[in-house]
Amino acid sequence: MTNKLALFDCDGTMVDSQANICASMEQAFVAHGLVPPDHHRTRRIVGLSLQEAVRHLLPEQDDALAAAVTQSYKDGFFELRQQGGVHEPLYDGLLELIDRLASDGWLLGVATGKSDRGLNHCLEVHGLSKHFVTLQTADRHPSKPHPAMVELAMSEAGATAETTAMIGDTSFDMEMGVNAGVRPIGVDWGYHDREELLLAGAHSVAMTMGELYETLNQ
Is residue 9 part of the annotated active site? The answer reads yes
Q: In what order do the strands lie in the sheet with 107-111?
A: 134-136, 107-111, 3-8, 159-168, 183-187, 204-206
- CA 157/CA 210 separation, integer angstroms: 24
Catalytic-role residue among 11, 104, 169, 188? 11
CA torsion 204-55-124-94 (nearest 10°) is -20
Inter-CA distances, 44 with 192, 203, 213, 214, Å = 7, 21, 26, 28
Is residue 11 part of the annotated active site? The answer reads yes
Q: Which residues are catalytic?
A: 9, 11
